[in-house]
Structure 1
Amino acid sequence: MGRMKGSGSEAAEGARTDPLVQLSLEQLRERTSMKWRTFPEDVLPLWVAEMDVPLAPAIVEALHTAIGLGDTGYPYGNAYAEAFAEFASERWRWDGLRVEHMAIVPDVMMGIVEVLRLITDPGDAVVVCSPVYPPFYAFVAHDAREVVEAPLGPDLRIDLATLQEAFVRARSHGRRAAFLMSNPHNPTGVVHTRKELEAIAELARRYDVRVVSDEIHAPLVLPGATFTPFLTVPGSENGFALTSASKAWNLAGLKAALAIAGVEAVKDLRLMPEEVSHGPSHLGVIAHTAAFLECGQWLDELLLGLDANRDLLGQLIEKHLPSVRYRPPQATYLAWLDCTRLRLHSDQQTGSPGVVSDMAGPAKMFLDEAKVALSSGHVFGSGGAGCVRLNFGTSPAILRQALSCMGRAARGL
């Protein structure tokens, strides 16, 4: 069970200044995004990776200024890349990051697809560590690459022996191969250590596997852990990283991301089709630039709120769902809950990994009986059946209501 920090009293939460406590359920239900419109109004949505926060004031100001000027044309310039380089230097000591080693892409997943097209061909293999973010399966398979799984270990961390075996399978028959890594890992919230990343880079070099690191959750590393950008470890020079301000500042609807090449991969990045740069939104670029450049304090307050919610969630699970196993995540606002003791799943779960609309096992029960929408574990690939992913990037009040309803539903089994 998770770490405990006192009683998590509502009085203490009332004194919080983070963005998670600023919007009521009634205000949130006015939103028209996927999170708040997919399910009926009596459902509490704790599924898709969207937080229940207002925009950071500096982002609001930047967007209002652009709208007031009619500045809604095509993206231009290097401001986004420069802002990220400054943020990365200040937060992670990632110094020397060069603008010419970055390219703007529509969003992280589309950027991943474009990078994989640069370094693999149809029929080649892409290794993933399951359970993992469902679009890794869908986007890769739709682009005619084979997904090769390297399941996480029992501690939910990357198992190097298993990864090595996957690299061997991926490189069989002379195929090219890539390793699509989630760093930090989604859905487990694990933050890979520098030592782990160095070992991954060495292994990838040995088997001539190119690493593509999805680092969209990097700004959301919580107290107690330290983020290491993959491209800062020895051996990563031929790798890529993808990032944006989307998750940390709640900008999923304002499309813009960055593809970053290691020094040996710059030549590959230069082959990216010119039309890819037309995908991002100019307003998206403005918003993401403002986030990285001006919204560090807002992020710090958010991280404190997420840390408090992480602990509150552990307390609520212990109270309402004692049979559910919970490892507090080191990063993100996503919790991976092992509900296998509820015996609501089959190891041969119906549905396909990556089909995020599929509901099965405990997720279906909690939706039907508790009116709480969670992400169904089986769509995250091997190791996901019987689990759910819960988004705790919301108010403590909503968390309490959701876990109370989930507890009642579980007791009724």
Structure 2
Amino acid sequence: MRTSEKWRTYPEDVLPVFVAEMDVPLAGPVVEAVTEALRRGDTGYPSGTGYAEAFADFARKRWDWDGLVPERTTMVADVMEGLLEVLDAVSGRTDAVVVNCPVYPPFYWFVKRTGRTVEEAPFGADGRIDLAALEDAFRRAAARGSRPAFLLCNPHNPTGVVHTADELSAVARLASRHAVRVVADEIFAPVVLPGATFTPYLSVPGAESGFAVMSASKGWNLAGFKAALAVAGPAATHDLARIPDWVKENPGHVGVIAHTAALRDATDWLDAVLAGLDENRRLLAALLREHLPQVRYRPGEGTYLAWLDCRDLGLGDDPAAAFLERGRVALSSGPAFGTGGAGHARFNLATSPALITEAVRRMAAALP
């Protein structure tokens, strides 16, 4: 019986498809590496560059990118902490931070907690970056302070959009024009489904002063093993030095071992999971067409999250509340994702086909 957040937040009669956890057995090499570490009593503080080296090898093989240089990285506890540490290195607490929206709710919560202002740049009607809206947000952010930043989410949570090389290059040009520092959350980078290609932000021209924060946690279902990597572009090395040395000790040592084993020895496992997620993506689309044809769903290119436009169901701004109360199925609440979230809900695909089928059945039963 699992005891994580997904399975303990709601009563037992509620079917959970909200938080970004996967319902999969862990990869064998990860289990073996962690078990061996526990046998040895190797449970101290993290050390060395093994995690960065493993990520660099993975990036070279997976994305044909050799720009992840271990000397331009530092370990951090997790992606959100890493993003905040990088923001402190490149901007001040009174500066503004731009986000594309709708977006992962902690982008708002954590940034505002630091005292910074969030400026939104809504996606276009096609669900992709609206460069005019982004430039307008950059201008507003620059007017608020001298060191604005842009938190880029790629692949994007909750929509599953994977930004193209051309889109990222355009972002880099705009950021340079307005002196905005780009910090990319690339936690879902390993989770790109067939038909799409992931482009690391730091690989595009003009992104040399940017940062990325990466982790194996989403790709291999390792959220309980805290570890992530902050990666500086070649022109941002001096900013990397501003991140305190003690931050490197925040990841769990066993977590680093788990992530390193995943990146080095469990790519076949990842490929099998991606194939299953692709099947689930198609299954959800078919079930919605059959049972909830009013719901608009644009299958994502990455992540294992489905962003459902439920505005035609007549359930108000927060359809997830109605699905929970009437259908006993828990989705993520759309309004929490900022502008563009009203009338939407997020559905986690990383589970069994049987659970997806039952969740859609319950959602349909919740309609008035």
Shorter-chain TM-score tier = over 0.9
> What do residues 371-395 of structure 1 show as CA deviations (whole Å, max 9, x unaligned)?
1100000000000011000001000
State the distance in 1 between where 2:57 and 2:155 align.
20
Aligned AA (2:294): S
Residue 374 in structure 1 maps to residue 324 in structure 2: no
Q: What's the CA shift for 1:208? A: 0.3
Contact 2:175–2:182, Cα closer than 8 Å, also in 1: yes
Number of residue pairs the alignment of both structures matches: 368
Question: Which of residues 256, 259, 265 is equivalent to 1:288?
Answer: 259
Question: Which of residues 292, 296, 301 is equivalent to 1:321?
Answer: 292
Contact 1:157–1:190, Cα closer than 8 Å, also in 2: yes
3-state DSSP class of the match of 2:205? coil
Residue 125 in structure 1 maps to residue 96 in structure 2: yes
Contact 2:95–2:145, Cα closer than 8 Å, also in 1: no
Residue in 2 aligned with 1:384? 341
> What do residues 157-208 of structure 1 show as CA deviations (whole Å, max 9, x unaligned)?
1100000000000000543100000001110000100000000000000000
Residue 278 in structure 1 maps to residue 235 in structure 2: no
For structure 1, the 5+ residue unaligned runs are 1-29, 347-360
Residue 137 in structure 1 maps to residue 108 in structure 2: yes
Contact 2:192–2:301, Cα closer than 8 Å, also in 1: yes
Question: Which of residues 63, 74, 89 is equivalent to 1:103?
Answer: 74
3-state DSSP class of the match of 1:213? strand
Residue in 2 aligned with 1:404? 361
Residue in 1 aligned with 2:308? 337
State the distance in 2 between where 1:96 and 1:266 align.
13
> What do residues 214-258 of structure 1 show as CA deviations (whole Å, max 9, x unaligned)?
000010000000000000000000000001000010000100000
Residue in 1 aligned with 2:125? 154
State the distance in 2 between where 1:296 and 1:116 align.
31
Residue in 2 aligned with 1:24? none
3-state DSSP class of the match of 1:181? strand
Contact 2:78–2:227, Cα closer than 8 Å, also in 1: yes
Contact 2:295–2:310, Cα closer than 8 Å, also in 1: yes
Q: What's the CA shift for 1:275? A: 1.6
Identity %: 60
Residue in 1 aligned with 2:215? 244
Question: Which of residues 178, 181, 190 is equivalent to 1:207?
Answer: 178
State the distance in 2 between where 1:173 and 1:218 align.
31
Taking structure 1 as reference, are residues 407 and 86 closer, same or farther at Cα in structure 2, changes over 3 Å only?
same
State the distance in 1 between where 2:314 and 2:90 align.
42
Aligned AA (1:310): R
State the distance in 1 between where 2:43 and 2:149 align.
37
Residue in 1 aligned with 2:224? 253
State the distance in 2 between where 1:312 and 1:277 align.
42
Greater displacement, 82-91 / 337-346: 337-346
Contact 1:337–1:387, Cα closer than 8 Å, also in 2: yes
> What do residues 35-78 of structure 1 show as CA deviations (whole Å, max 9, x unaligned)?
10000001110000000011100000000000000110110111
> What do residues 128-172 of structure 1 show as CA deviations (whole Å, max 9, x unaligned)?
001000000000000111000001111111100000000000000
3-state DSSP class of the match of 1:129? strand
Contact 1:125–1:175, Cα closer than 8 Å, also in 2: no
3-state DSSP class of the match of 1:212? strand
Contact 1:256–1:285, Cα closer than 8 Å, also in 2: yes
Residue in 1 aligned with 2:18? 47
State the distance in 2 between where 1:60 and 1:168 align.
48
Q: What's the CA shift for 1:97? A: 2.6
State the distance in 1 between where 2:307 and 2:145 align.
36
Moved over 6 A (4+): none
Aligned AA (2:69): R
5 Å-filtered alignment, 1:39-118, equals 39-118=10-89
State the distance in 2 between where 1:390 and 1:250 align.
17
State the distance in 2 between where 1:96 and 1:237 align.
10
State the distance in 2 between where 1:129 and 1:114 align.
20
Contact 2:152–2:184, Cα closer than 8 Å, also in 1: yes
Contact 1:178–1:209, Cα closer than 8 Å, also in 2: yes
Q: What's the CA shift for 1:409? A: 1.4
TM-score normalised per structure 1: 0.88
TM-score normalised per structure 2: 0.99
Greater displacement, 187-196 / 166-175: 166-175
State the distance in 2 between where 1:391 and 1:406 align.
14
Greater displacement, 272-281 / 197-206: 272-281
Contact 1:214–1:241, Cα closer than 8 Å, also in 2: yes
Q: What's the CA shift for 1:343? A: 2.1
Taking structure 1 as reference, are residues 172 and 321 closer, same or farther at Cα in structure 2, changes over 3 Å only?
same
3-state DSSP class of the match of 2:345? strand
Contact 2:96–2:144, Cα closer than 8 Å, also in 1: no
Residue 194 in structure 1 maps to residue 165 in structure 2: yes
Aligned AA (2:278): D
> What do residues 319-356 of structure 1 show as CA deviations (whole Å, max 9, x unaligned)?
1111000000100100000001112224xxxxxxxxxx
Aligned AA (1:214): D
